[in-house]
Each structure stands twice: as structure tokens, then as C-alpha cells.
Amino acid sequence: MKTIIFDMDGILINSEPLWKIAEIEAFAKVGLDTKATDFEESVGLRIDEVVQIWHDKVKWTNKTVKEVEDDIVNIVIREIYTQGQEMDGVTDLLKSLKSKGYKIGLATSSYQRVIDAVLKKLNIGDYFDVIHSAEHEKYGKPHPAVFMTTADLLNVKFSDCLVFEDSLNGVISAKAARMKVVAVPEDCNGSNPKLIVADLILNSLADFDADRIDSLFK
């Protein structure tokens, strides 16, 4: 039996726009005038890595990197509770996978308190056998550590895992772990030719048929 691992942001919840809201708001407090498209290349990275990238460029002095990071996380949690929405097909697919006996994992770059907010908002926590954050890894995506640890916690081989990811960084991470990957990119990444490295590209989880899982491993 194969194992299914989900990314969270942009796969389970439409939170990528919320992260952009949070980043724009928090970075404005340290003098950065940013827009949503400024963060497209960093989708899938841990937020501490995103903040460090910007600090290396701008070197603001009125707040620490950690303070900006915490501000972004607090804002995105606020936005999740006020306007977070489940992505199309999430609950139906989780129900289908669970009914067929698949092990289901969650592997995300988001911190545990963001995970907790999302699972509470969507009421889907009970579907997951293992929940793991790259917060606990030395390296975030595109390093494969978060997926490898999730597979270890599920007690399965890396090569028996199928991952659902929305970002190129996430797809690279899962492929580096020798896992099969279904890419479900958000609009800004949908035309990225590099996503061809995924085993399947879909517009929505609602388009995925759980009966075709075994065919992806042939």
C-alpha cells in the first residue's frame, strides 16, 4: 500500500495569498515597500529563510529578523481564521484516501502554530496519521528533509510515497526524497516549465482520482 503526503499551504488551504498579505504588512513596518509578486520565488520556503533573504538584501535595523518572522506568522494566523478557505477537493480526497486505508501524512514548511490554525479552521486534523513541520529540520524545502522525516515517522519507504505539492520548491524537495509528486500549482506558478519534473500536474485536487495512485508508480 502506497502512502500519501500532503503539503499544506496552497494544497489544503488557500493560504498563499494570506502569506503575501502578512509579508507585505510586516515588511512595511521595517521600511520595505513590497508587492505580492515579490514573494513568488520564495513560495514553499520556511518563513525564517524568506525573512533572512530580505534582511540580507535590505539590512533593516529597527527590528530583529526573529521579530519580523514572528510578526508575519501572527498576521497569517489572523488571516487564516478570518478568511482561510479549503482548496477544492480537499475533504473529498482525504475521505476517499482514508476509506481505502492509505496512510496519510502532512509535511509543510509552515510552523506548528500555523499548522494548528489551519487544521482547526478546516476541521481536517483527524485525517492525518503524521503531521510534521520543517520548523524541526535543519534545512527547509527544497531540501528533502521534511518529506524524509515524515516518511520515517509513517514507517514507510521514501519510494512508496506520493506527494501533493503546489510550489516548485516543494516539488524539488519531494523528488529529491525519491518520491512521486503530483503538482497542483497556484496560478502564479502554473505556467512554470520547471514543474515538468512532477509526475503529474493538475489544476485542482478535485481532478485527482484516488484509483489512479498505483498507476503513478509503474
Catalytic residues: 7, 9
Closest CA relative to residue 194, chosen from 204, 181, 207: 181
Beta strand residue intervals within the chain, DSSP E: 3-6, 103-108, 130-133, 161-165, 180-183, 200-201
Report whether 202 contacts 184 (CB < 8 A).
yes
| Of 64, 78, 61, 72, residue with least CA distance to 27 | 72
Grid cell in block for residue 151: 516518511
Distance CA 67, CA 63 (A): 6
